[in-house]
Structure 1
Amino acid sequence: MPPTKNALLRYAAIDACLQRTTQQWSFERLRREVAAVLAEHVDSAGGVSVRTLREDLKNMRPGGATGYNAPILFEPERGYYYGEAGYSIFASPVTVHDLPTLQQAVGLLRQLTGLGLSRELGEVVERLELRLSGQAQAVRETICQFEQPTSYQGQEWLGALYVAVQQQQVQRIIYQPFGATQPDELLVHPYLLKQYNGRWFLIGQREGWQTSLSVFALDRIQQLHTDKQTFLPHAGEVNQYFTHLIGVSILPHAELAEVRLRFTKSRLPYVLTKPLHASQTLDKNTDEKVLQVVPTRELVSVLLSYGGDVEVLAPAILREQLAEEAKRMLGYYL
């Protein structure tokens, strides 16, 4: 079990004391110092018990639960001290107990291979395994599996765009949307990278378009270059752009609407446990699901994925759109 915040504070306080080699640290003095640190950081007025401090010292020593293997020694005339000059638990903050977590972190980051983080973190973990070899066996089994495609087109731009957003660098993009016969050259001020449904999108301000943000699918980018033009920061919070959206695109002239849905009894429990949107509520009088969202293409796709298990009750324009889609689908099978 990983240590609690209080335990970590106590270990850090003990470590700080034992690094002060010009002082003598009796058990009681050490206990008072640790209690003072807790009182300062977590407003704890209860002090530190004798039993707690003894357990902390045991856990920090070789073979202890923390994995620090701290060379803590004790002599009656000298008190507690480190037997190794210059030692600190923070000189090697990662222990063998951290390796399983780091191995799983590498697995999580494999979906971001375009950023290079997976490879770099993997190398760090390998070095730690070599350093800690003999203490434990590294975890190799896959515990979490994700649906992120390994060969997603456009992922090669992810690393460069990550840097561009972070360092506020204007990008000159050769971009060809689906349906366009020729690509366009665009100047874009990048603000955010967003993933939705296994695809990556860049959210930014297109040069000359001051009215709204634009969304660019990374798989439609053909070329990408940093431009020396002055970066224009976004006036508001870019994340707020998605507060009332499902997906990343907005239908023309769409406005915030109250979407009312009726699910079949067999499907309703799934929707209750996995809401379609953060605004989702349940009208207990009618068992209708209510969303406060801007109708998007992605919302329509999500609703169609439920087939006959959902009925759109409102707004009327969305209900009509789903009805037209249902008629078109039915025509394929008649």
Structure 2
Amino acid sequence: MANSKHAHVRYNLLDYCFRNRTFTFNQLLQYINDKIAELYPGEGIEKRTLRADLNIFRDKEKGFGAPLPANIRILRYTNPNFSIAQKPLLEYEQYLINASQQLLERFENHPKYNKLAEALVKFQEGEDEETDTSKILFYDQNEEYKGIKHLKPLYFAIKKKQVLHITYKGFQDEIPTAFEFHPHILKQYNRRWFVFGLNNTNYNETWSVPLDERLVKISIIEDEIHKTSEVDWDSFFRTMIGVVRPKDSEIKKVILRFHNGRQNYFKTKPFIPDFEEFFEEDKQDQVWFMAIINPELIQQILSYGKDVEVLEPAELREQLKENSSKMINLYS
């Protein structure tokens, strides 16, 4: 039986190497041990463990059935499109998933673990031979979203306090721009991810970068000291919908009046964390909250169509009026 300690780490590293690197056995062993030591200082594996891992990769019945020929000097897949991510979970991996789900039952009422529990359910898809889970679970996901590949490296860049060189090209830009970036937090909005931090080139400490095709390249700037953030990110986002914070924006009191009972939908899924209801009998269809005025706020209000009206502030009401007029012109 293969050494199960850190097996999930080794399998992911090996899968990466077999698709992207050209290592001999000894070179591969050194690379794997270097990576394990980064995560678990002082630990590593022996040659026999790596040989056992290779057998698991090649085994078609109890392993991954990878296109990895035996008796070759350079260890690479013969099919570069193959990945173990395409294969069902191994018995060892299925055990870990089941154990994790049982552990999470202790915290089933804790909102902090909701997303993790959801992820574990997703892992079960395709693993249950008796149930077609595709007919049970339908996810609200962006099939065209390619930016997820940037999430893991940016997460570790934040965790390891690395300074990055970012190359970025906006949809309307003719040429890309580059800047020094000190990443601090990752935020998801509208099924997309954004990284926030210090743009040290123009010294904007709340700079955001979308994780999509506009993010051309990320590279680590070695020996550069990562600057910590003085921003209270929880407060920063609490009065802001989305990710756009206009320069010199001010927090305003926003009052919305709903029609056709739509206030009930808002109250069960508000687009801002903190909102208040009115006590007056004639204002039960109204809510108010403190927020900055940005494009995402306007988009969220517009999503209610004819069933919502902005009462305050006047500038937001005017912007909704202008948007409505433009929409009318499109259909006139």
**Same fold (TM > 0.5):** yes
Aligned partner of 1:194 in structure 2 is 187
Residue 141 in structure 1 maps to residue 136 in structure 2? no
Give structure 1 regions of 4+ aligned residues with deviation exceeding 6 angstroms.
Answer: 92-97, 99-102, 104-107, 136-140
Q: What is the rounded CA distance, in whole Å, between the counterparts of 1:195 and 1:169 in structure 2? A: 21
Q: What is the rounded CA distance, in whole Å, between the counterparts of 2:99 and 2:131 in structure 1? A: 11
Aligned partner of 1:262 in structure 2 is 257
Q: What is the rounded CA distance, in whole Å, between the counterparts of 1:97 and 1:187 in structure 2? A: 39
Residue 282 in structure 1 maps to residue 277 in structure 2? yes
Aligned partner of 1:330 in structure 2 is 328
Residue 249 in structure 1 maps to residue 248 in structure 2? no
Aligned residue runs from structure 1 range 1-334, under 5 A: 98=101, 108-109=118-119, 141=133, 143-219=136-212, 220-228=214-222, 229-285=224-280, 286-287=283-284, 288-334=286-332
Contact preservation (8 Å) 1:260, 1:315: yes
Assess, with a 3 A threshold, how the Cα gap between structure 1 residues 273 and 105 changes in structure 2: closer, same or farther: closer
CA RMSD, 1 decimal: 3.4
Contact preservation (8 Å) 1:165, 1:190: yes
The alpha carbon displacement at 1:140 in A equals 6.3
Q: What is the rounded CA distance, in whole Å, between the counterparts of 1:180 and 1:140 in structure 2? A: 46
Deviations 1:123-168 (A, max 9, x none): xx99xx9xxxxxx988762554321223413222112111111111
The alpha carbon displacement at 1:211 in A equals 4.9
Q: What is the rounded CA distance, in whole Å, between the counterparts of 2:116 and 2:275 in structure 1? A: 34
Which structure 2 segments of 5+ residues have no match? Answer: 1-94, 106-113
What is the TM-score with the length of structure 2 in the denominator? 0.59
Q: What is the rounded CA distance, in whole Å, between the counterparts of 1:93 and 1:159 in structure 2? A: 21
Assess, with a 3 A threshold, how the Cα gap between structure 1 residues 144 and 241 changes in structure 2: closer, same or farther: farther
The alpha carbon displacement at 1:272 in A equals 2.1
The alpha carbon displacement at 1:95 in A equals 6.7
Amino acid corresponding to residue 109 of structure 1 in structure 2: A
Which stretch of the first structure deviates more once superposed, 285-294 or 140-149? 140-149
Q: What is the rounded CA distance, in whole Å, between the counterparts of 1:239 and 1:314 in structure 2? A: 25
The structure number with the bigger radius of gyration is: 1
Amino acid corresponding to residue 299 of structure 2 in structure 1: S
Other structure's SS at 2:133 match: coil
Deviations 1:34-53 (A, max 9, x none): xxxxxxxxxxxxxxxxxxxx
Deviations 1:91-123 (A, max 9, x none): x99877957979x98884399xxxxxx8xx78x
Q: What is the rounded CA distance, in whole Å, between the counterparts of 2:268 and 2:293 in structure 1? A: 22
Deviations 1:49-68 (A, max 9, x none): xxxxxxxxxxxxxxxxxxxx
Contact preservation (8 Å) 1:201, 1:218: yes
Assess, with a 3 A threshold, how the Cα gap between structure 1 residues 247 and 105 changes in structure 2: closer, same or farther: closer
Contact preservation (8 Å) 2:97, 2:120: no
The alpha carbon displacement at 1:282 in A equals 1.2
Assess, with a 3 A threshold, how the Cα gap between structure 1 residues 110 and 174 changes in structure 2: closer, same or farther: farther
Assess, with a 3 A threshold, how the Cα gap between structure 1 residues 271 and 188 changes in structure 2: closer, same or farther: same
What is the TM-score with the length of structure 1 in the denominator? 0.59
Contact preservation (8 Å) 1:155, 1:218: yes
Which stretch of the first structure deviates more once superposed, 139-148 or 194-203? 139-148
Assess, with a 3 A threshold, how the Cα gap between structure 1 residues 230 and 283 changes in structure 2: closer, same or farther: same
Amino acid corresponding to residue 188 of structure 1 in structure 2: F
Which structure 1 segments of 5+ residues have no match? Answer: 1-91, 112-117, 130-135
Other structure's SS at 1:213 match: strand
Contact preservation (8 Å) 1:250, 1:297: no
Deviations 1:257-276 (A, max 9, x none): 00011110331221122222
